[in-house]
Amino acid sequence: MRHALCIGRKEFNAYFTSPIAYIVIAIFLLVTGWFFFSTFFLLNQASLRNFFSLLPIIFAFVVPAVTMRLFAEEFNIGSYETLLTLPVRFNDVILGKFAAAVAFVAAMLVPTLAYPILVASLGALDWGPVIGGYLGAIFLAAAFAAIGLFASALTRNQIVAFIIGLAICFSLTLVDQVAFFAPQTVSLVFSYLAADVHFQNIAKGIIDTRDVIYFLSVCFIGLYATHLALRARD
Amino acid sequence: MIRVENLTKYYDDVCAVDQISFNVRKGEILGLLGPNGAGKTTTLRMLTGFLKPSSGRIQVGDYSIEDQLLEIKKILGYLPESAPLYHDMLVLDYLQYVADLRGMPTPLNLDRIRELGDLCGINEVMHQPIGELSKGYRQRVGLAHAMMNDPEILVLDEPTSGLDPNQIVEIREIIRRIGKAKTVVFSTHILSEAEATCDRVIIIHRGKVVADSSTARLQDTLGGQTQIHVTLADAEAAAVQQELAAVAGVTQLGLIEPVGGAVRLVLTCDPSCDPRAAIYHRIRRTNWTLLEFHQETLKLEDIFRELTKEG
């Protein structure tokens, strides 16, 4: 556990010593800011609903970009070998990198706290959904980070890792949108699988264990798949 | 200290290491020699637990690599080939990170880093990003990384590749210094390096051990043949050949490209007798001028070539 913390701290710091962090944060804020405020005054409602409804799609792009380097870069420069011959376990490495990615996304969300503060000054903001939304955003980030980590463990090429991660996250977000073509039973399964549906539930301010369990299981599956992918490299 | 038994590694269908067995004693400097692609790096990677062997056993100290890998990693320092380190990190940050992972308490690890900085000569680059360092400095940072916890066993994969002659001498000096107290295993394809640094060498060819003995004994047993080099002026090649071929003990006589009118010969001799005196007496009877006369035993380089010949 101490090792995981140590690796996590190093990875988190590494984000901010390379330009990638600042680029990703800037793009994230630009996109969310523009989409949110371009319709905000037309809707004339003091809520962040619009912001949170966009978040899954934006995260599907941004989170794989955050996680793409975590393993792919290590494979590429060969530092994976130096890391794994230090007295660390596989799971310490995976958990440390996962924690660093989630912490980075959380740090990325901090500047967006300006939105609710701004909105609250314009009208009566219901803080319940806002708190739920941010909590859901962390869950969503964790789930996508686990998937992105898995994609990164598959290849030594960061671009490939990004595209694989994006493809999985994007499908997971929108899988319920294709559900209406399918028969009822299948469409129920699809809508259960959709990250978007579970996120919107939490973002309404309702924290249901079903949604929490969904995100935790996606995290677990992603991290376990990462473990298997690393094992397969032997 | 290290016991390797029937170690085998397959990459898909390609056999990289084939039934290798050897032992390394405590306090020994072992050189792993072999041409490119012989399986040196694969062997070292299995020794450090980075790769799983396809079959075979590795025992390090009292630990077996399958069950107690973490214990082994704690007493082993490893520098992979070409020192792959994080390019964005500062040297000091990196060494501190390694010390953290090694579980060294913070005030103590700064002392250790300073000590290693002196030993490896990297104090002046402590605050530079690793990616901006020259190859030699990066190699030294890698060496510092491997020696962080003062390991019982140090495993180095081609530690001197890509360095300039001065740096090579320095790194060898460091290895020899560490080797006095610790066990060192390193791979190289530079023979003079193995000759200069190792107590013992293992020559690997196509995944198999083809020689395993102390550096001195290897020369004795495999290099029994001697060669005598003779250069004569004021002489005719044909006459010289005729005269010297008659000496007892000379098995082969080769003419080398003459330089400046002199006749140069290499005489390969039977290991059982020493024909130098006889050759000298014969030359003295003529009016040739003797410019050069010396004997050479087959060197590690020749032995290496002999053992790793293709086909």
pLDDT range class, residue A61, cuts 50, 70, 90: very high
Cβ–Cβ contact B66 with A under 8 A: no
Domain boundary assignment for chain B: 2-221, 223-306
| Cα B154 to Cα B218: distance, rounded to the nearest angstrom | 24
Residues of B in contact with A10 (CB under 8 A): 97
Predicted local distance difference test score (pLDDT) of residue A68: 93
CATH architecture of B223-306: 2-Layer Sandwich (3.30)
Find which of B100, B132, B133 to mutate to test the A interface (most A CBs within 10 Å of its CB).
B100
Q: Is the pLDDT at B211 greater than 60, yes or no?
A: yes
Of A3, A6, A82, the CB nearest to B80: A82
| Record: contact A14-B98, CB cut-off 8 A | no
Concatenate the DSSP letters of all residues of chain A into one string.
-HHHHHHHHHHHHHHHHSHHHHHHHHHHHHHHHHHHHHHHHHHT-S--HHHHHHHHHHHHHHHHHHHTHHHHHHHHHSHHHHHHTSS--HHHHHHHHHHHHHHHHHHHHGGGGHHHHHHHHHS---HHHHHHHHHHHHHHHHHHHHHHHHHHHH-S-HHHHHHHHHHHHHHHHHGGGGGGGS-HHHHHHHHHH-HHHHHHHHHTT---HHHHHHHHHHHHHHHHHHHHHHHTT-
Predicted local distance difference test score (pLDDT) of residue A145: 96
Cα B47 from chain centroid (whole Å): 17
| Cα B125 to Cα A16: distance, rounded to the nearest angstrom | 21
Q: Are B155 and B3 in contact (CB under 8 A)?
A: no
Mean pLDDT: which of A226-230, B2-6, B203-207, B306-310 is highest? Answer: A226-230
Q: Is the pLDDT at B311 greater than 60, yes or no?
A: no
What ipTM was predicted for this assembly? 0.86
| Record: contact B74-A10, CB cut-off 8 A | no
| Record: contact A85-B85, CB cut-off 8 A | no
For residue B267, the cross-strand partners are B228, B253
pLDDT range class, residue B225, cuts 50, 70, 90: low
| Record: contact B52-A234, CB cut-off 8 A | yes
Average pLDDT over residues B146-175: 84
Cβ–Cβ contact B97 with A under 8 A: yes
| Record: contact A6-B97, CB cut-off 8 A | yes
Average pLDDT, chain B: 83
**Beta strands B200-205 and B63-64: pairing type?**
unpaired
Q: Are B76 and B2 in contact (CB under 8 A)?
A: no
The dihedral region occupied by A48, where left means phi > 0, alpha psi between -120 and 50, and beta the remainder, is alpha
Residues of B in contact with A84 (CB under 8 A): 49-50
Predicted local distance difference test score (pLDDT) of residue B220: 64
| Record: contact B84-A82, CB cut-off 8 A | yes
Q: Are B295 and B275 in contact (CB under 8 A)?
A: no
| Cα B90 to Cα B133: distance, rounded to the nearest angstrom | 10
Predicted local distance difference test score (pLDDT) of residue A134: 93
Average pLDDT over residues B113-140: 88
The 10s digit of each residue's pLDDT in A62-94 is 999 999 999 999 999 999 999 998 988 889 999
| Cα A202 to Cα A207: distance, rounded to the nearest angstrom | 5
| Cα A69 to Cα A83: distance, rounded to the nearest angstrom | 15
| Record: contact A85-B142, CB cut-off 8 A | no
Cβ–Cβ contact B82 with A under 8 A: yes
Find which of B11, B45, B88 to mutate to test the A interface (most A CBs within 10 Å of its CB).
B88
pLDDT range class, residue A222, cuts 50, 70, 90: very high
User: What is the number of structural domains in chain A?
Assistant: 1
pLDDT range class, residue A191, cuts 50, 70, 90: confident
The more confidently predicted of residues B250 and B297 is B250
Predicted local distance difference test score (pLDDT) of residue B300: 66
Instruction: Determine which of A203-212, B82-91, B105-114, B264-273 has the lowest per-residue pLDDT on average.
Output: B264-273
Residue B25: strand, helix, or coil: coil
Q: Does domain B2-221 have CATH number 3.40.50.300?
A: yes
Residues of B in contact with A234 (CB under 8 A): 51-52
Q: How many CB pairs under 8 A join A and B?
A: 59
Q: Is the pLDDT at B134 greater than 90, yes or no?
A: no
Predicted local distance difference test score (pLDDT) of residue A181: 74
Average pLDDT over residues A106-125: 90
Residues of B in contact with A2 (CB under 8 A): 103
Residue B34: strand, helix, or coil: coil
| Record: contact A85-B102, CB cut-off 8 A | no
Residues of B in contact with A6 (CB under 8 A): 97, 100-101
Q: Are B187 and B207 in contact (CB under 8 A)?
A: no
State the nearest Cα–Cα gap between B300 and chain A, in angstroms. 32
* Nearest residue in A to B100, CA atom: A6
Predicted local distance difference test score (pLDDT) of residue B223: 53
Predicted local distance difference test score (pLDDT) of residue A170: 93
Residues of B in contact with A81 (CB under 8 A): 45, 50, 80, 84
Of B85, B101, B102, the CB nearest to A79: B85
What angle in degrees, to the nearest 10, is found between the helix axes of A49-67 and A127-154? 20
User: Token digits for A32?
Assistant: 């969310």
Upper half-sphere CA count for residue A73 (Cβ side, 13 Å)? 18
pLDDT range class, residue B221, cuts 50, 70, 90: low
The 10s digit of each residue's pLDDT in A8-36 is 999 999 998 888 889 999 999 999 999 88
Average pLDDT over residues B246-273: 76
| Cα A27 to Cα B156: distance, rounded to the nearest angstrom | 44
* CA-wise closest residue to A190 among A205, A202, A204, A173: A173
In the block, tokens 């800037």 appear at: A26
pLDDT range class, residue B298, cuts 50, 70, 90: low
Q: What percent of chain B has pLDDT over 90?
A: 8
Upper half-sphere CA count for residue A32 (Cβ side, 13 Å)? 27
Predicted local distance difference test score (pLDDT) of residue B222: 55
Q: Is the pLDDT at A158 greater than 80, yes or no?
A: yes
Average pLDDT over residues B31-58: 87
| Cα B246 to Cα A171: distance, rounded to the nearest angstrom | 88
pTM over 0.90: no
Cβ–Cβ contact B139 with A under 8 A: no
φ/ψ of A209, rounded to 5, equals: -60, -30
Evaluated on CA atoms B222, B199, B196, B149, the torsion sign reads positive
Give the residue numbers spanning the domain of A95. Answer: 2-231
B157: Cβ contacts below 8 Å, ≥ 6 apart: B40, B41, B44, B78, B79, B80, B81, B186, B187
| Cα B63 to Cα B47: distance, rounded to the nearest angstrom | 12
User: Token digits for B119?
Assistant: 């030993």
Find which of A86, A92, A234 to mutate to test the B interface (most B CBs within 10 Å of its CB).
A86
Predicted local distance difference test score (pLDDT) of residue A99: 96
The more confidently predicted of residues A92 and A182 is A92
Concatenate the DSSP letters of all residues of B118-175 into one string.
HHHT-GGGTTSBGGGS-HHHHHHHHHHHHHTT--SEEEEESTTTT--HHHHHHHHHHH
CA dihedral defined by B247, B252, B258, B259, rounded to 10 degrees?
Answer: -80
Average pLDDT over residues B176-190: 85
B289: Cβ contacts below 8 Å, ≥ 6 apart: B232, B233, B234, B235
Find which of B11, B101, B141, B148 to mutate to test the A interface (most A CBs within 10 Å of its CB).
B101
